[in-house]
Structure 1
């Protein structure tokens, strides 16, 4: 299976790095997507809206403001297509999407979120 597993959390990258101590209440969304499923975060980095911290695939770590990420999550998880994050179509792999709308809505506008994207190849 080639693709990506994405985790978005309110925890810091350092907190999220210790998977044995992850606060499950801090998770905002997780999903699996196909080969181009990480293009959306690469696009945000190219636009200066996200910062990549690590890039070895196990995982790739990023941070971005809730101002940027929350609207995408509220619009629906979608697989990136041609560098765009389609905001009107839910295309993650069936059964692989977990979203916590109340936690997402509770994010403060300037809050820094952690994004992990794991290579599943």
Structure 2
């Protein structure tokens, strides 16, 4: 999951990196907090693409209060898989490759609109 201010105006990878606030991997159920925000009217969920990535948009105040107090918790389920190079088991509530960018978060005004892109990694 990656949160950026507005990825449509970012011209290069270097420019994009300056705007990323946080990214992490999460297991099944890891985006439920975003779905809840959308259901509560605190975020929008753009379903126009019909697939991934899922794009949510919300005010920074809604998102940053969640991720700065610890990554969103979720119940999830065990996920098992076999890829050509590995077998894996992902436990419920798993998060990995967490990267918070405190300097970018501090510069982000609470009323800024953030885009949150979520991909299914299965």
**Same-fold status (TM-score > 0.5):** yes
Report matched runs for 1:76-87 at 5 Å. 76-81=70-75
Q: Is the 8 A contact 1:66 1:111 kept in 2?
A: yes
Match of 1:117 in 2: 118
User: What is the alpha-carbon distance in structure 2 between the residues aligned to residue 75 and residue 47 of structure 1?
Assistant: 20
User: What is the alpha-carbon distance in structure 2 between the residues aligned to residue 92 and residue 71 of structure 1?
Assistant: 18
Match of 1:85 in 2: none
Structure 1 runs (4+) greater than 2 angstroms displaced: 18-22, 54-57, 78-82
Shift of 1:92: 1.4
Shift of 1:105: 1.8
Q: Is the 8 A contact 1:15 1:22 kept in 2?
A: no
Give the aligned CA root-mean-square deviation in angstroms.
2.5
**Please, which of 91, 95, 108 is the counterpart of residue 92 of structure 1?**
95
In 2 relative to 1, CA 101–22 (structure 1 residues): closer, same or farther, beyond 3 Å? same
Match of 2:4 in 1: 9
Q: Is the 8 A contact 1:77 1:91 kept in 2?
A: no
Specify every segment of 5 or more residues in structure 1 that has no aligned partner in the other structure, as ranges.
1-5, 83-89
Q: Is the 8 A contact 1:39 1:81 kept in 2?
A: no
Match of 2:89 in 1: none
TM-score, reference length from structure 1: 0.74
Rg (Cα) greater in structure: 2
Shift of 1:78: 3.1
In 2 relative to 1, CA 46–117 (structure 1 residues): closer, same or farther, beyond 3 Å? same
Aligned pairs, how many?
Answer: 105
